[in-house]
Structure 1
């Protein structure tokens, strides 16, 4: 499990950096910036509840999960959620730049 967390942590930190850098920039204050943040959140919102429900069903019907493992999975779900938000912002910004340059 620690190998998986060790792999996710650097990606998570980059995604958090991207998220906060974009959120605090002037670019995020205009209408298209707000749409980028909303679309990124829309892409990431289903990850946490779906992952939590799958973990809960596994715990109830297949095999009990220890509290330590439960906390590790919750941390992984939070990391994955922020990774998707960060990388969605990067992709959506690139698409917006391409649309502005061609249109």
Structure 2
């Protein structure tokens, strides 16, 4: 991607898109999800073996007793606008962000 990104007042700005979340570090707190207006990531259940069970969308969901913990997963990366709100609220710094000029279209 090439070009110059500008803020509303004309200041140069480089968006940094969320490209991944390290599931071994993520604690599934949901802070990033709460501040994301684009639904870039969702909470997923994980079993004891570290296998992702699926989207966790109900407080009563336990994946037939297999649920061990929850993590955030980037499942709609193309929706990210690079605002960085998720990175600012993450207590574990488990996200990977890549500058817009380095991300393949």
TM-score (norm 2): 0.31
- Which has the larger Rg? 1
Structure number with higher strand proportion: 2
Higher helix proportion, which one? Answer: 1
